[in-house]
């Protein structure tokens, strides 16, 4: 069912508790490497602040032990970056805890039109455990609950599920970013225009098994690259050298290929590969056709496959992409992903809907400086993959219906 958004209710003089995904990468000195997730939340944040709401932001960062504060995972640098991004019109404060007296004092200190960033939720074990007492402590801080954290929407944690459950009778609405994610990763897929293509990469078939099974009933063609392609090729009896393969998934991969054939769908596998003896042996990079030499491993789709897939994918009217097709972080093994990205961008230019899953795929697109050439790039890798599996989220179900 469609959900209410922050635009459907008033925030004036209300305290608004918003779950955001500020899980940004930090360097060894605690400096933010990439602030994209903060920037993506700005439209929802500014909407609440401009209406005169008192905004309380909560998020996790990294993987602390859950036994108390850890300086390396503090959200203070995030609060400082948000303050810079919002500029002089809105103040941003920081609370050194997310519950208890420090959090309550922080909430009481902010004026309408200002924001407070709470300290890392995962400094408390109750966040991941969805502890009722911890959730209730967060819920008592505000009058309105906003979920704008698609990156953790698939996790039944306290801030995602327990808090709205404890705010009975108070509004529970979606942020603008979450609404956009749901529009593309749910509606655009269930109502996809043909031809519908899926590009799936990454290391393991087991990671994408649910998505492949779900998408086989919806797509026309699935292009399989990345290391997971070698498990499929092994199921066909091809020699793959030292390439990564999931031995326990070879039979299942073969079954998926047969299922696609039975349904009249196509699963395309690479027909040539960029290979080397190791990821570090750049002098020994060579193009291999099917039948990879025993001393080599496949590290990207080959140039012939890249050309063919670029042309093929440019025909799409709907395309989803989750998982890079090679070790894109290390040239020349970025060429396959780049070529397919260009093909998808061409399709988008001709009015296709293009959806890129988060995580490494989004990082690849950013590194190619092509983000503006796609319809939508998701902020959540794991969450976007779950949606490609057809999974529904309790955190979304709890939001008020439109």
pLDDT in tens, 112-167: 999 999 999 999 999 999 999 999 999 999 999 999 999 999 999 999 999 999 99
Mean residue pLDDT of the chain comes to 95
pLDDT at residue 62, as a whole number: 95
pTM: 0.89
Orientation angle between helical segments 250-262 and 228-235, nearest 10 degrees: 80
CB-CB contact of 58 with 18 (8 Å): yes
**Active-site position among 14, 19, 37, 155:** 37
Catalytic one of 52, 66, 210, 382: 382
SS3 of 228-279 = HHHHHHHHCCCCECCCCCCHHHHHHHHHHHHHHHHCCCEEECCCEEEEECCC
Q: Do domains 6-177 and 184-388 have the same CATH topology?
A: yes
Answer yes or no: is pLDDT of 90 > 90.
no
Q: Which of 53, 359, 380, 381 is catalytic?
A: 359
Rounded to whole angstroms, what are the CA distances from 132 to 63, 339, 362? 21, 49, 35
Residues 316-336 pLDDT 10s: 999 999 999 999 999 999 999
Give dist(CA 193, CA 219) in Å, integer: 10
CATH class of 6-177: alpha beta
- Pick the catalytic residue: 204, 307, 373, 394? 204
In the annotation, is 357 catalytic? no
Indicate the length of the chain as a whole number: 402
Break the chain into its structural domains and give their ranges: 6-177, 184-388
37 included as an active-site residue: yes
pLDDT of residue 86: 94
User: b/e string for 66-101 if b means 16 or more Cβ within 10 A?
Assistant: beeebeebbbbbbbebbbebbeeebebbbbebbbee
Q: What is the CATH number of domain 184-388?
A: 3.40.50.1260
Task: Map tokens 């500014």 to a residue.
Answer: 46
Q: Count the Cβ atoms, other than its own, within 10 Å of residue 3.
A: 19
Q: For residue 256, what are its two tokens?
A: 């998926």
Tokens standing for residue 73: 């995972």
Give catalytic status of residue 382 as yes or no. Answer: yes
């Amino acid at each position: 069912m469609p959900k209410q958004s922050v635009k459907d209710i008033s925030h004036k003089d209300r305290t608004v508790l918003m779950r955001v995904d500020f899980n940004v990468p930090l360097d060894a000195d605690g400096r933010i490497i990439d602030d994209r997730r903060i920037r993506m939340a700005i439209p929802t944040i500014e909407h609440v602040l401009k209406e005169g709401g008192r905004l309380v932001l909560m998020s996790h960062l990294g993987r602390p032990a859950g036994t108390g504060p850890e300086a390396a995972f503090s959200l203070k640098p995030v609060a400082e970056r948000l303050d810079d991004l919002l500029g002089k019109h809105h103040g941003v404060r920081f609370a050194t805890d997310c519950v208890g007296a420090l959090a309550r004092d922080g909430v009481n200190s902010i004026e309408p039109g200002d924001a407070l960033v709470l300290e890392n939720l995962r400094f408390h074990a109750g966040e991941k455990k969805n502890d009722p007492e911890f959730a209730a402590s967060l819920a008592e801080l505000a009058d309105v609950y906003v979920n704008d954290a698609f990156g953790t929407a698939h996790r039944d944690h306290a801030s995602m599920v327990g808090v709205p459950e404890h705010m009975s009778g108070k509004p529970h609405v979606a942020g603008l970013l979450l609404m956009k994610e749901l529009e593309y990763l749910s509606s655009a897929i269930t109502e996809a225009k043909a031809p519908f293509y899926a590009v799936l990469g990454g290391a393991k078939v087991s990671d994408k098994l649910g998505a492949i099974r779900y998408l086989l009933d919806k797509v026309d063609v699935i292009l399989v690259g990345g290391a997971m392609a070698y498990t499929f090729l092994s199921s066909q009896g091809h020699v793959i050298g030292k390439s990564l393969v999931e031995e326990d998934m070879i039979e299942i991969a073969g079954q998926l290929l047969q299922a696609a054939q039975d349904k009249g769908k196509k699963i395309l596998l690479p027909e040539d590969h960029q290979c080397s003896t190791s990821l570090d042996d750049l002098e020994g990079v060579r193009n291999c056709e099917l039948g990879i030499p025993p001393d080599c491993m496949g590290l990207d789709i080959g140039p012939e496959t890249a050309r063919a897939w670029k042309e093929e994918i440019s025909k799409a009217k709907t395309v989803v992409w989750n998982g890079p097709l090679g070790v894109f972080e290390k040239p020349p093994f970025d060429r396959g992903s780049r070529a397919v990205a260009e093909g998808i961008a061409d399709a988008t230019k001709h009015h296709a809907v293009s959806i890129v899953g988060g995580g490494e795929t989004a990082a690849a697109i950013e590194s190619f400086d092509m983000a503006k050439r796609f319809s939508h790039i998701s902020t959540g890798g794991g969450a976007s993959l779950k949606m490609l599996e057809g999974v529904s989220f309790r955190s979304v179900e709890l939001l008020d219906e439109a």
